[in-house]
Amino acid sequence: MIHQAVKSFSLLITTRTGVCFPDDAQTKLNTVLDTRLTAHQLSHPHDYLQLLSRTSIESVNEWNCIIPLLINGESYFFRDEEQFRLLRETILPTLLLQSPEQSTFTIWSAGCSTGEEVYSVAILLDQMSGNIGNKDIHIIGTDLNQQALEHAQQGKYNAWAFRTVDPVLRERYFTHDHDVWGLCPEIRQRVTFHQLNILHDPIPNYSLGLMNVDIILCRNVLLYFDRESTACVLGKLKKALSSRGVLITGHHDSANQAVDGLVPGPTPAILIHSEHSSRLVSQ
């Protein structure tokens, strides 16, 4: 009975979030299930699965509680040095120069976790301020994990989050208080955060400003999805891109997944609109 309950729990999580669990994760799922049964004083797993399946505030609150227990949102600043180099040297300058008449420029981190990635982009743009001109820059971070978003909004991190960062850059943008580094308000206030389920919520999403996006970063998210969910999400992200937009994935996120209208850019993990690809592909 417990084994079947864990399988049902796993299937429900995959249906809700797109995240698939390998066989060796069953012990973890069983532990989470037992913990939440105890927390709710429920004697049968069926009652807990019913709770998760409801459309109620109680159900939403429970999902917000268990998602951090199930999904690893570990991140750090300027993760993947090569992709950030391409952003700094090629992608951002090219896109900004390609659209001088465009008054707004939107960057979206889909799966921003605790904020390190999206704040790294904000810092990068601050360093490139001479290339931005008068553009209105919108930087948006979304994640399914509400607790991670609350952490991100605080902008406070321990030293491990800076393990690949030049100490000079850290000193410039963060203040140190004991073991905590706090991001300067000027950068923190440039980013807006929203909870979003990229598998099930509408995308493009006009209420959150997620349409005609110039750069979408969805890195190390899709590798946890099955093939069907990955295809669904990639299609939705493509629709949210501007006509010259760029989608940046993790190196293993979209393996063997083609997206109509997008072609590989400087690396296979960077996808761009085919009609606007020549300048970026040649870099």
Mean pLDDT of 52-79: 92
On average, the pLDDT of the chain sits at: 89
Per-residue confidence at 262, pLDDT binned at 50, 70, 90? Answer: confident
Going through the chain in order, the beta strands assigned E by DSSP cover 104-110, 136-143, 156-157, 174-177, 180-183, 191-195, 213-218, 241-249, 262-264, 270-273
pLDDT digits (tens, 9 = 90+) for 194-241: 999 999 999 999 999 999 999 999 998 988 898 889 999 999 999 999
Q: At 107, is the secondary structure helix, strand, or coil? A: strand
> Would the CA dihedral through 155, 160, 166, 171 be positive or negative?
positive
Could you give the percent of the chain with pLDDT greater than 90?
65
Biggest CA–CA distance in the chain, Å, is: 63
CB 248 within 8 A of CB 215: yes
- Give me the architecture of the 2-70 domain, per CATH: Orthogonal Bundle (1.10)
For position 63, what pLDDT does the model report?
96
Residue 206 host element (H or E): none
For position 1, what pLDDT does the model report?
44
- Give me the architecture of the 81-281 domain, per CATH: 3-Layer(aba) Sandwich (3.40)
**Domain definitions of the chain by residue range:** 2-70, 81-281
Residue 40 has pLDDT above 80, yes or no: yes
For position 274, what pLDDT does the model report?
64
Residue 256 has pLDDT above 80, yes or no: no
CB 272 within 8 A of CB 281: yes
Q: Which of 94, 71, 57 is nearest to 144 (CA)?
A: 71
Per-residue confidence at 10, pLDDT binned at 50, 70, 90? Answer: very high
Chain position carrying tokens 């951090």 = 68
